[in-house]
Amino acid sequence: MRKVFTVLLTTLVSFFLAGCGQSGVRPDAI
């Protein structure tokens, strides 16, 4: 269960960083 949580957290952080790094591009455009 912890592994799933880690993957989910990593994905969330990735989307967050992508959204902050490219304010002109939406996170779901990756």
Predicted TM-score (pTM) above 0.75: no
Cβ atoms of 27 and 17 within 8 Å: the answer is no
pLDDT tops 70 at residue 8: yes
**Token couple for 15:** 């989307």
**Token couple for 22:** 């490219």
pLDDT score, position 10: 93
Per DSSP, helices labelled H in 1-30 are 2-21
**Dihedral (CA of 5, 9, 10, 11) sign:** positive
